[in-house]
Structure 1
Amino acid sequence: MVQAIPAYAMVCFVFPKKFYTKLNSHISNFWWGGDLEGKGVHWTNWGLLSMSKLEGGLGFRDFHKFNLALLARQGWRLVKYPQSFCARILKGIYFAHSNFMEASKGQRAFWAWASILQGRDLLLQGIRWQVNSGTEAKFWENKWIPYVPGFKVTSPKPRGNDFQTGCDAIDSMTKR
């Protein structure tokens, strides 16, 4: 039997794979359980059941993905609200000389910090810069170009090119 775990714990910690497997197993057994002898019919696989309804699935939650999404949300809060109490504490302990997106795990990291870094990895897959003035987005390294697959410059850097940030490539008069 899966023990009750407070919902707020999924926001702070990555749970072990064994826990997710057991939880998903209980859910599938409930839906596919059938009669008292457990002879149910598996109408479709779990992958289809856990797809969103928009994609043709039934919208069941994959708890591992859900847990990572909640941790990514915590990471986004550290980026969005760097002056919050939590962000300042974590910055002082784990990334005093860098920012959250470049922070490393360290050798003696707490479980909560290691978990938030796993959420950051998910965040890095989809995050991109919104260029306003273009002074902060690094031209060659960051994802900042809309309507381009990957939102990033994929061509090799030509010799003699001195573009450092996005604003170096934007015409100040036409804003293009």
Structure 2
Amino acid sequence: MAPWKAKCLSFMARLTLTKSVAASLPVYNMQTEMIPNKVGKNIDKMNRDFIWGDEPDKSKMHLVAWEKMTTPKCQGGVGLRPTRLPNLAMLAKGGWRLMQEKDTLWTQVMQAKYGRQRQGLSLLCPVQGSSFTWTSFSKAIPILENRCVWNIKNGRSTKFWNDPWVLQVPLRDMALDEILMELEEATVADFAHEDGSWRTELFSDLCQGPTLGRAALSTQVSLEH
């Protein structure tokens, strides 16, 4: 950023240059890699120093806090993006595509190598020997968990006890007793009749809590899909 000579540009020119060029340079890498915290902080510092006109041998006072500068314009900020947030957003988008785009070559290669026949968000969990890219996608799991809902359809690919398809946690974590080993891998379809109604006798003893029971029974299974 030194060749731009911050002292020769106005504040608005430095701000515009930072938003359109400097903050956009790492975008290519951020789509598939989690940038280390230290690197991200160094990028933010360089952008911050350039905006306020710092020179190698002379620092200037930063009149507005960085947190305020990175606030969206609609909330009173100037719309700068800290490195960490767009990095996580792009990894979340890549992770979502990895789960949804079954027919693309890159997802087929990645899933065959690291997916281990897993479904849903568990697909993104790192395994032994995972590449840095796959491990980076796993960093976005909390974002996807808070923004995704389960679409059960026929229920054959959703684990009844081990997937968080009703609440934010798997049902096994709220069960009132031990889950039989033969039922641990049972799917939602295994607990439903052909007309989509529940076979409550199979799980009613373990799901008697008011919140758990109402949540499970209010979820419908559509067997025609």
TM-score normalised by the chain length of structure 1: 0.71
Identify if the C-alpha distance between structure 1 residues 89 and 28 changes in structure 2 by more than 3 Å, giving closer, same or farther. same
* C-alpha displacement of 1:68: 1.1
1:174 matched residue in structure 2: none
- RMSD (Å) for aligned C-alpha atoms: 3.8
The CA distance in 1 between the partners of 2:116 and 2:218, in whole Å, is 24
The CA distance in 1 between the partners of 2:32 and 2:47, in whole Å, is 23
Pick aligned residue for 2:208 from 158, 161, 164: 158
* C-alpha displacement of 1:100: 4.7
1:70 matched residue in structure 2: 90
Identify if the C-alpha distance between structure 1 residues 21 and 143 changes in structure 2 by more than 3 Å, giving closer, same or farther. farther
Contiguous gaps of at least 5 residues in structure 1: 145-149, 171-176
Task: Report if aligned partners of 2:166, 2:219 keep a CA contact under 8 Å in 1.
Answer: no
The CA distance in 1 between the partners of 2:135 and 2:55, in whole Å, is 43
* Equivalent position amino acid for 1:21 in 2: K
Could you list the structure 1 runs, at least 4 aligned residues long, displaced by more than 4 angstroms after superposition: 34-37, 133-140, 159-162
2:164 matched residue in structure 1: 141
Task: Report if aligned partners of 1:78, 1:100 keep a CA contact under 8 Å in 2.
Answer: no
Pick aligned residue for 1:117 from 135, 138, 148: 138
Task: Report if aligned partners of 2:98, 2:107 keep a CA contact under 8 Å in 1.
Answer: yes
Q: How many residues align?
A: 159
The CA distance in 1 between the partners of 2:86 and 2:109, in whole Å, is 26
TM-score normalised by the chain length of structure 2: 0.57
Task: Report if aligned partners of 1:71, 1:120 keep a CA contact under 8 Å in 2.
Answer: no
1:173 matched residue in structure 2: none
Residue 32 of structure 2 is aligned to residue 12 of structure 1 = yes
The CA distance in 2 between the partners of 1:5 and 1:36, in whole Å, is 22
1:147 matched residue in structure 2: none
* C-alpha displacement of 1:49: 0.9
Per-residue CA deviations over 1:16-61 (Å, capped at 9, x if unaligned) read 1111111100111112236786342322211111111122221101
Bigger Rg over Cα:
2
The CA distance in 2 between the partners of 1:123 and 1:115, in whole Å, is 14
The CA distance in 2 between the partners of 1:18 and 1:7, in whole Å, is 17
1:129 matched residue in structure 2: 150
Task: Report if aligned partners of 1:71, 1:115 keep a CA contact under 8 Å in 2.
Answer: yes
Task: Report if aligned partners of 2:88, 2:139 keep a CA contact under 8 Å in 1.
Answer: yes
Greater relative CO (CA pairs within 8 A, separation 6+): 1
* Equivalent position amino acid for 2:127 in 1: G
Structure with bigger helix share is 2
